[in-house]
Structures are given as C-alpha cells and as structure tokens.
A and B are shown apart, each in its own frame.
Chain A
Amino acid sequence: MGWNLVRIWTILVYTFMFLPVAVVVLLSFNASQFGSFPMTGLSFRWFVELAQNEAILRAFRTSIVLGLLTAAISTTLGVLASLALVRYRVPGSNVISTLLIAPILVPEVVLAVALLLFLNFLQINKSFTLLLLGHVIFTLPFVILVVQARLVSIKRDVEEAAMSLGASPRQTFFQITLPLMLPAVLAGALFAFTISFDDITGTLFWKPGGVETVPTQIFAMLRNSISPEINALGTVMIIMTVGLPLLGLAIARQVAKKSGT
C-alpha cells in the first residue's frame, strides 16, 4: 500500500518533469501554424524552416564552435590539474582543489556578474574569447571531478612498472595513464560540451553584442512571438544534449570494455 503511493508519486513527479518536454517534441512535428492540440497533421516543415533561418544557423554554428573549444580547453586543463593534484604533492592542494570546484557551488548568476564586473574593472571589452573563458571556468570543475575520480583509481604501481621497463615519464603518461583514464576524459569532454552548449545564464552576461548562441537565440525569439520553429529548435537541442552524452557513454563503455578495466 505504502509502496504503491510512493510509486504513484514517483510517476507524477516524472510526468511533471518530462511532460513539457514531450509536448515540445510532439508539437515540433505539428503541421499547423499554432502550437496547440489537437495536432492537425504530421509535418517536418518547422525543421525545414529552421534549416533556412540564417540567424538560427549562425547561432548553431557559434554554439558548436564555442562548445568544441570549451570542451577542448576544459578537458586539457582539467586533465593537467587532476594529474597535478592527484599525482604530485602540490603545496596547498586542498585549497586549489576547492577553488577549482567552486564554480559549481557558486550560483551561476553570481559567477556571471562577478566575471563581468571583474572584466569591467580591468577595462576589457566583451568578446568571444571572454565568453569562451567564462564557459571554461564554468565547465572545468565537471571535468576535474570526473577525471580525478578516475585517476585516483589508477594504481601508481602500473606507472612505476612502465617506467622500470624503460618508458620515460612522458611515454608512461601517453602509453599507460592516458589510455587508462580515457573513458573519464571523454566523459569530461562531453560534459563540458553539453554544459557549454545549453548554457544561457552566463552566456547572456558574457556574450558580446551581435553574437548569439542557440539558447540566447531561442530566448530572443521568445520575446517576439512563440513560433513553432522554437519547438523544432527545442527538439534539436534535446536530441543534442541528451543524445550526445548517451552516445559518449556508449563509446566510453566500449573503450573501457576493450581495455578490460
């Protein structure tokens, strides 16, 4: 009896969470101009219009470039930071670790405003580079958390064995450590990409005039009217931000399986 209540409650919560998403996805295939039920027919016309909308395409390109750069930089920095924190005795490593993780704990708005004020103070103008910098700060903790956890589980013995066999520390890293932490590195990169790709709060503060990412573009479009194009765009976003990590996970699992870890 009690368990049934819990079960129903759980279902209700999930319905509440996912119903709006489902509605958006459904309506994006609606033939009619007005986004409402009942649907008048199945159509891909909003996706076609989407593909012809210059502003959206530009935003898409910006988002992808931004996401890829963020992922590349965050992952590189994150791997290096994790290595330093886990493998070497760095003075004050606890403090550094906390500082690196802090951006997750600070509310995003606060972080966004803080960075903006700081840039003003330095009299630096907003630019794409700064937007990228903001995204890197914001995604770095996720990469570090994932990679660090993995690195801790890689035994020092294995690296020492490699070195005793003649591999220099650098060769040991590329031959042993990196392959062993690859699943975590991939996961970190994917995290960074998806977080960057659908971030809006920070982006609104940091983006220079005239640059739009997909989320800010949607936001701007919503201010004028609710076009069914937005439903289509939402569906594409959902596919990207849900599908990519799933794909990544599957790849990571394959890699892990092959390496027998």
Chain B
Amino acid sequence: MSSVTLNNIVKRFGNFTAVHQSSLEIPEGAFVTLLGPSGCGKTTNLRMIAGLLDPSEGEILIGGKRVNDVPIHKRNLGLVFQNYALFPHKTVAENVAFGLKYRDVPADQIPKRVQEALELVQLPNVGERYPKELSGGQQQRIALARAIVIEPDVLLLDEPLSALDANLREDMRVELKRIQERIGVTTVFVTHDQSEALAMSDQIVVMSEGRVEQVGAPEEVYNTPASEFVANFLGASNIMEAKCAGMGGEGVTIEAPIFGTMTIPSEKAPRVTGAGPAKIVIRAEKLQLSANPAPEGVVSVPATVETVDYQGQAVRYFVRAGDTQLQAINMIDGHPFAEGAEVHLHLRPIDCAALPG
C-alpha cells in the first residue's frame, strides 16, 4: 500500500500530446477513478504509473519514491486489463500463483495464498480449470485475484468491467469495491462510465483532452462541477449564460434567464469571484415537472413538453420555456406527461451551481 504522486507529467507521442502537464496526488489506500471520454488520456496515465510508458516530462512517485527509472516488473503493482489478459496456457491456479514465484513466498505457502485469493473473489473451486473454461465475469475475477495475491502497493484497473454485460457489471462493481475495501489497497481505476465512477470512488479525476478538469469526491464533482465539461460529462445539465449580481452572506445572487434572480449557496459557486458574467448549471434531475405551481421557496416557470423519452423508472423530457429548450430527467410518479402538455418547472435555487462566465 502506497500513495501515488504525479508531478507535472507530460506525455507526447511524436507531435501529439496525449497528456498535458498534470499533477495528481493519490493518497494511500484511496480508490481514485480517472474518468473521461474516449481518448482523453486515461490509459496513458495509467500505463505511465504502471511503467509501461515513460513520461516525456515530470516524475512519478510511488510511496514517496521516484519510480521513473524503475522497470514495471520491479514496481510491485497489480494490473487488471479490460480483456482480462489471463495466461491461456496456464490453469487458473497457475495464473494466480504466477506473481508469487517472483517473490519471497515459500513454495509451500503458495497454494494456500492462491486459495485465499480465489476465495476472496468467490471462485474457490476453479483452480484446475483453464481460463477459456470460465465465463467473462469469472475470468475478470481471476484476473483480479492474480493481481491482488501479490499484495501490490498499488492496484491499477483499466476499464475492468466494460467487457461484461450490464447486469454482471453492476454485481462486479459492488464486488470489486468490497474487495478493495477489505484489502485496503491504493487503487487507480479507469473508466468512461460516470455511474461506475460515482458509485465506487473516494476521489474522481475528471479528464478531458489530456488535461485534468477536476479532482474531487463524487458528490463534489457531481454537485459542484468545476467546468462546463464536467457538468455535462457527469449526467445531463442545462447550462445557461447568466450574470452574477453580487455575493453576500447567504450566497451568490445570480440573474438567470427564464428562472429569474436566485440566490445560490456559496459552496455551489466556489469559482465565481464577483459580480459579472457567469453561467448557471442546472442538473436535469433537479428540474421537476409538475402540473401545479410550486410551493413557497421554489422557483416555478411555465413550460411546454416537447419530447418524451421514456426510460422505465425515469423519463427524460425536453421542454420549452420561452425560447429555450431545457432537459429534465424525472422519476416516474404515476403517468409521465405527454408531448405538448403545459407544465410548471420547479427548481430549488440550492440545487443550482454557478460557474464563472
């Protein structure tokens, strides 16, 4: 178990810069997720930590020690890939035992350690099988067992769940988190799936085009996005040009189109520094459609439903208020509204966030 530090890391491939100068501090024992769209440099970062790629600039520290010149096989890391990467010519037990051979583990201890690892991933009885005799989910569990049996300083996971089907993915998510908490290993997890990131992480690192956009706890990046990109990438948001009219004890006063003047709590607008242009961020889930006007303390605006996108438990509406189209995602309570229905949009100011303009 060790902390991981990236100091001003840059990675270039020829003329193309895949990772722009970025720094990152991953505390010991934390579960940190690198989240971002395809091609934003998540894998590149992970591979640099692993020692599979050399950074063009900057330094990497694991447990406080600079590891730039330490080859991968001396870094003591657990690595799990999207497509499992089990050794097809070795049995499951041999796969799991592989890393132990290169460590000071007495030979008679190896079977016991292997069995413990298999039990941890809840597959105690498949040791004699070959990887191809296992399902995808089982193979990924074995890949995890193989990575953690060596008691790595850091566990690196590159989209380990994305090859699994939706139901299995959710089970594995819980399972993976349980195992990580149990052994307490520092974990860097790569995904482009925001719900995975929100559900599992202690910290989320949101990346875009090789840059770190925001680092924070799931709630923080979700509720207080640091940029328009983050607001849009984590769930659907309505972002509108607005104006900051002033800052006071009870919050930041924002003059927004459609919804009028609202006072947003200061902690939801940490980057707004004073009066001037600003942007208001309204999460689609926070915009409630209702047949009735709002009670006291809730902003209410009339609107027309334009599109209804039925999703089972929830429904996504596109509504028009004035000349602006807004997106709202509501849980279904009774029947969803029909297209063309006249509704009231309810919004609590405390659910809004503001960004500098």
The chain A residues found within 8 Å of chain B, CB to CB, are 155, 157-158, 160-169, 171-172, 175-176, 179-180, 258-261
Chosen A-B contacts, 14 in total, with CB atoms closer than 8 Å, are A155-B83, A157-B85, A158-B88, A160-B79, A161-B81, A161-B86, A162-B87, A162-B98, A164-B79, A166-B101, A166-B150, A172-B73, A180-B89, A260-B130
Which B-chain residue is minimally distant from A182 (CB atoms)? B89
In the bound complex, CA of A238 to CA of B185 (Å): 63
A158 is contacted by which of B73, B87, B133, B150 (Cβ under 8 Å)?
B87
Partner of B131, one of A169, A258, A260: A260
Asked whether, in the complex, the Cβ of A261 is within 8 Å of the Cβ of B89, the reply is: yes
Residues of A within 8 A of B78 (CB): 164
B146 at the A interface (CB under 8 A): yes
Q: Are B130 and A155 in contact (CB under 8 A)?
A: no
A-contact 0/1 string along B50-90, CB 8 Å cutoff: 10100000000000000000011111111101010111110
Shortest CB-to-CB span from B98 to chain A, Å, is 5
A165: nearest chain-B partner, CB-CB: B99
Q: Is B102 an interface residue (CB 8 A)?
A: yes
Q: Would you call B132 and A260 a contact (CB within 8 A)? A: yes
Q: Counting CB contacts under 8 A, is B103 at the interface?
A: yes
Q: Which B residues contact A (CB, under 8 angstroms)? A: 50, 52, 71-79, 81, 83, 85-89, 98-99, 101-103, 130-133, 143, 146-147, 150
Chain A residues positioned under 8 Å from B87 (CB to CB): 158, 161-162, 176
Knowing that A166-B103, A179-B89 touch, tell me 4 more A-B residue pairs with CB under 8 angstroms. Answer: A157-B85, A163-B71, A165-B99, A167-B102
Contact A160 B88 (CB under 8 A): no
**Total of A-B residue pairs, C-beta within 8 Å:** 74
Given A157-B81, A260-B130: A163 touches B89 (CB 8 Å cut-off): no
Q: Shortest distance in angstroms between A173's beta carbon and chain B's nearest beta carbon? A: 12
Chain B's nearest CB lies how many Å from the CB of A220? 47
Contact B73 A166 (CB under 8 A): yes
CB-CB under 8 A from A158, the residues of chain B are: 85-88
Nearest CB in chain B to that of A154: its residue = B88
Min CB–CB distance B62 → chain A (angstroms): 13
Known A157-B83, A165-B150, A166-B150: A259·B88 in contact at CB below 8 Å: yes
Instruction: Name the A residues within 8 Å of B77 (CB-CB).
Output: 164
Partner among B73, B81, B83, B147 whose Cβ is within 8 Å of the Cβ of A163: B73
Task: Note all chain B residues with C-beta closer than 8 A to A171.
Answer: 102
For the complex, what is the distance from the CA of A180 to the CA of B88, rounded to whole Å?
A: 8
Q: Is B76 a contact partner of A166 (Cβ separation < 8 A)?
A: yes
A157, chain B: closest CB distance, angstroms:
4
**Could you tell me the distance between the alpha carbons of A157 and B88 in the complex, rounded to whole angstroms?**
12
